[in-house]
Amino acid sequence: MKRVSHQQASQLLHNKFVVVLGDSIQRAVYKDLVLLLQKEKFLSNKQLKSKGEMSFEQDCLVEGGSLNFMHNGTGYKEVRQFQSGHHLVRFYFVTRVYSPYMQSIFDDLRNGRKPDVVIFNSCVWDISRYNSSWLDNYKENLHMFFAELRGIVPKETLVIWNLTMPLGKTIKGGFLVPEIEHRASLLRYDVIEANFYSSTLADAYGMDVLDLHFHFRFSLQHRTVDGVHWNALAHRKITSLLLEHSAQAWGVAMPLAVVEHTEVAAQLPASGNSKAAKRHASRRNYSYREDFTRDTWPCSFMNVPLPAYHPPPDLRNGKCLKDQCIWFDYRPPNHHHQQNVMRSRHVRPHYAPYTHPRHSQYDRHGRYY
């Protein structure tokens, strides 16, 4: 595999402020980034499964988590922050892409230090826990989220929307309460539809899109037995994709190191139940049709009749997005270059908002600026 080294990550994010927003998958993205900024190691199984702990690899729990009552409800909060002499990474756990709690996060970004990189995703909770007819509500919340975020962060900020990774046919997790268990087998299809709308809207609002669903469609062996989460090797690959994307957006040359599988296996944490893992692996089917082994759309895909295009209204103030020079539809892009994998990167200047260690930005009680 090709991956970013500790030294490359530390140099690329030198004097950078990174904000990660999302669910438990994005929390593991935050944890792997924090770990890579300090050492050349992979996350352990315990670190991947833990949530709300007081400290992880020298970071600090700022709000929620074990400071409050731990639960699996939609109101669960967890804010974490890691700070070194030249790195600042913050994580917000969110269960909905736009909500009153998201507005409080926007207040943090509006009144505090402006981030250099924003990495975010919100999908599985949105389409399962709030409304069975989720599509219109999800699109409306995406509109409001992208519009407000675009007005808060400076144009130099690199904003990356991660598409949701493939779900298993049989899934279980904290978000899957008994009331929605009957929808578990259909969520993997809903995720594909939600990814389509969210990626198109993110592109229309000038955000970068990283299609993790595409990148991991043939790496299902790295998905854990719950059908939702992924192992340490997959998360190091996600970190490498994010940092490679950031380097190209900033015009920084960062060749990835090629690591042998034996070397990677030696660094990975040992599996807790090898027999169960072997049984789970034996049930996987890797026989894909020809259409799913190419990076191009199947020939029959474009034969589906497309709806008439109408510019959508701005859901916040009733004004048409035409006035803001943002015209888009939900059709797949028709370009010779493959656009459904990763959106073309916005070239942004590589700059440092602060150049000295700021050890006093939050105190030992975990309050942040």
Per-residue pLDDT of the chain (369 residues; tens, 9 = 90+): 678 999 999 999 999 999 999 999 999 999 999 999 999 999 999 999 999 999 999 999 999 999 998 988 889 999 999 999 999 999 999 999 999 999 999 999 999 999 999 999 999 998 988 877 788 899 999 999 999 999 999 999 999 999 999 998 888 766 666 666 667 778 889 999 999 999 999 999 999 999 999 999 999 999 999 889 999 999 999 999 999 999 999 999 888 777 665 555 556 655 544 444 444 444 433 333 333 333 443 433 333 343 443 444 443 444 444 343 333 333 333 333 334 344 555 666 654 443 334 444 444 444 444
Phi, psi of 120 (to 5 degrees): -155, 155
In angstroms, what CA-CA distances link 356 with 60, 67, 359?
Answer: 21, 31, 9
Fill in the DSSP letter of residue 178.
Answer: G
Token pair 């808060």: residue? 152
AA letter at 73:
G
Q: Exposed e or buried b for every residue in 126-157, given b needs 16+ CB within 10 A?
A: bbbbeeeebeeebbebbbbbbbbbbebbeeeb
pLDDT at 357: 41
Taking the whole predicted model, whether its pTM rises above 0.85 is answered as no
Please report, in angstroms and rounded to a whole number, the separation of the first and last CA atoms in the chain: 39
What number of other Cβ atoms are within 10 A of residue 236's Cβ?
24
H runs (alpha helix) in 253-305: 261-267, 274-282
Domains defined for the chain, CATH in brackets: 2-270 (3.40.50.1110)
Note whether 166 and 195 are within 8 A (CB): no
Per-residue confidence (pLDDT) for residue 175, from 0 to 100: 62
Retrieve residue 309's tokens. Answer: 């295009």
**pLDDT for the residue numbered 131:** 76
**H runs (alpha helix) in the chain:** 6-12, 24-36, 45-49, 100-111, 124-128, 135-152, 187-204, 212-215, 232-249, 261-267, 274-282
What's the CA gap between 176 and 49, in Å, rounded?
Answer: 16
Q: How many other C-beta atoms lie within 10 A of the C-beta of residue 69?
A: 11
Question: What are the residues whose beta carbons fall under 8 Å from the beta carbon of 213, sequence distance 6 or more?
Answer: 163, 164, 165, 166, 191, 192, 195
Residue identified by tokens 């990660």 is 20
Residue 88: phi and psi, rounded to 5, are -140, 120
Largest CA distance in the chain: 60
Q: In the block, which residue shows the tokens 């352990």?
A: 44
d(CA 130, CA 73): 11
CA distances from 79 to 47, 113, 179 (A): 16, 16, 28
CB 100 within 8 A of CB 116: no
235/66 Cα distance (integer angstroms):
24
> Is residue 39 classed as helix, strand or coil in its secondary structure?
coil
